[in-house]
């Protein structure tokens, strides 16, 4: 009698239903929703959990079939065209046991046109004392702005203790393979040092441009985006500068573009003259970092120096990747000390002329700001 319950227990266990599997889901991880795409783009989807029995994943863009993948990674190349216009990307996963999973994202078109509504001129200013230490806490009355040597009334003023819009563009070309681990750590430290309410966009670039994070404030999300940096391909430096400025020019307020690269541009559709003209109509300071072989290329250094100087930013060069964290720390301090001023120019004509800008501050201080702007005609 003592042994009879054993087979009964076995029978009960054998008849018990299998543990329920978690429901499968599908997500498009690239491009991101509300992002901006153009040119060659990677479409990438993830099925969760990874063990879900997927027969195939079909990608479409704007209603047209792009590719079908029957095994992970579920990704394929797609040409989004030369212009930044809205797109609808859709992925459909067919499960082996029956049923489908569907995910879709919509990207945005570039709605800002540089040079439109340039009446209000914004000027970011960094103030230091004679020893190079940052000077903070200055009131609006301490500043004077001159355009072509004519004083302008300061109509808007934002102190240094406010949130910013920051776009960070990181070179992930094939030449970065050895330096990428240290680069990731330096970028993470930089992003963590920014204010929690700063809106951070992280771009990666090689032959193409990838938006890894779009206006993110969550520190953990910033770090996850950095982990996606993987080296391959060439260097489209000029293209990423243009895209970064386009993203910043959608917003008003304190802004900055930070660009890191280790080599000369060999992949951009844009040319250096395109970038220099673009910088003349933007009010975002540009911080550029040349590392390794990038700092030894004379022509590249000249380009980076001009971009930083005209925009009111700074150019840094380091031969050792271990020094990158220190460079980013300097940029963090610079951004934290940035004042923002604006004025309505007394000369409103948009005649395409170059207007020089000078900012003075009371006391024996030094000021770094944009050198001027080009008063281009309205485009609409």
Query: Which pLDDT score, from 0 to 100, does residue 265 have?
Result: 80
Phi, psi torsion values for 224, nearest 5 degrees: -60, -35
Phi, psi torsion values for 172, nearest 5 degrees: -125, 35
- Domains parsed from the chain with CATH numbers: 25-107 (2.60.40.10), 121-160+340-374 (no CATH), 165-336 (3.40.50.410)
Query: Using CB atoms within 10 A of its CB, is residue 358 exposed (0-12), middle (13-18) or buried (19+)?
Result: middle
Query: Which pLDDT score, from 0 to 100, does residue 21 have?
Result: 58
pLDDT in tens, 177-187: 888 999 999 99
Centre a 10 Å sphere on the Cβ of residue 230 and count the other Cβ atoms it contains: 13
Secondary structure of the chain: what % helix, strand, coil (to 5)? 25, 35, 40
Query: Which pLDDT score, from 0 to 100, does residue 38 have?
Result: 67
List the beta bridge partners of residue 152. 145
Tell me which residue has tokens 């690239």.
30
pLDDT in tens, 51-105: 889 999 999 998 889 999 999 999 998 988 756 678 889 999 999 988 889 999 9
* Distance separating alpha carbons of residues 239 and 21, to the nearest angstrom: 46
Region of residue 251 (phi > 0: left; psi between -120 and 50: alpha; otherwise: beta): beta
User: Contact, 243 vs 80, CB < 8 A?
Assistant: no
List of the chain residues with pLDDT < 50:
1-19, 110-118, 380
* Distance separating alpha carbons of residues 155 and 77, to the nearest angstrom: 48
Query: Which pLDDT score, from 0 to 100, does residue 117 have?
Result: 43
Q: What is the DSSP letter of 377?
A: P
Query: Which pLDDT score, from 0 to 100, does residue 32 have?
Result: 83
What are the CA-CA distances from residue 198 to residues 195, 251, 256, 310 (Å)?
5, 13, 11, 24
pLDDT in tens, 189-212: 999 999 888 899 999 999 899 999
User: Contact, 368 vs 287, CB < 8 A?
Assistant: no
Tell me which residue has tokens 């919509």.
106
Tokens standing for residue 295:
């700092």
* Distance separating alpha carbons of residues 84 and 110, to the nearest angstrom: 6
The DSSP line for 62-116 is TTEEEEEESSSSEEEEEE--SS---EEEEEEEEETTS-EEEEEEEEPP----TTT
The DSSP line for 308-330 is HHHHT-EEEEESSGGGHHHHHHH
Dihedral of CA atoms 14, 20, 21, 26 in degrees, nearest 10, equals 150
Query: Which pLDDT score, from 0 to 100, does residue 216 have?
Result: 86
Tokens standing for residue 96:
């082996």
């Amino acid at each position: 009698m003592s042994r009879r319950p054993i087979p009964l227990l076995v029978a009960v266990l054998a008849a018990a239903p299998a543990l329920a599997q978690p429901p499968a889901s599908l997500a498009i991880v690239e491009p991101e929703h509300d992002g901006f795409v153009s040119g060659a783009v990677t479409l990438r989807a993830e099925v969760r959990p990874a063990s879900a029995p997927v027969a195939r994943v079909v990608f479409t863009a704007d209603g047209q079939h792009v590719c079908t993948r029957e095994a992970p990674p579920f990704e394929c190349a797609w040409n989004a065209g030369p212009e930044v216009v809205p797109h609808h990307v859709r992925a459909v996963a067919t499960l082996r046991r029956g049923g489908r999973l569907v995910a879709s994202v919509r990207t945005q078109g570039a709605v800002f046109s540089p040079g439109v509504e340039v009446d209000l001129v914004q000027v970011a200013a960094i103030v230091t004392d004679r020893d190079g230490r940052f000077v903070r806490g200055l009131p609006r009355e301490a500043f004077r702005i001159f355009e072509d040597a004519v004083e302008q009334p300061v109509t808007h003023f934002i102190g240094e203790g406010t949130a910013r819009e920051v776009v960070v563009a990181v070179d992930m070309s094939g030449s970065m393979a050895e330096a990428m681990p240290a680069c990731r750590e330096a970028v993470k430290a930089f992003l963590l040092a920014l204010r929690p309410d700063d809106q951070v966009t992280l771009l990666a670039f090689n032959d193409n441009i990838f938006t890894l994070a779009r206006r993110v404030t969550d520190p953990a999300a910033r770090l996850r985006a950095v982990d996606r940096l993987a080296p391959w391909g060439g260097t489209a430096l000029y293209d990423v500068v243009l895209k970064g400025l386009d993203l910043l020019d959608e917003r008003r307020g304190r802004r900055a573009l930070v660009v890191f690269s280790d080599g000369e541009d060999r992949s951009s559709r844009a040319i250096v003259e395109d970038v220099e003209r673009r910088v003349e109509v933007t009010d975002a300071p540009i911080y550029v970092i040349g590392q390794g072989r990038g700092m030894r290329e004379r022509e590249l250094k000249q380009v980076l120096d001009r971009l930083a100087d005209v925009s009111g930013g700074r150019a840094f060069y380091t031969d050792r990747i271990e020094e990158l964290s220190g460079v980013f720390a300097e940029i963090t301090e610079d951004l934290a000390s940035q004042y923002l001023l604006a004025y309505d120019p007394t000369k409103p004509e948009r005649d395409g002329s170059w207007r020089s800008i000078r900012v003075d501050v009371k006391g024996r201080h030094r000021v770094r700001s944009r050198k001027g702007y080009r008063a281009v005609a309205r485009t609409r």
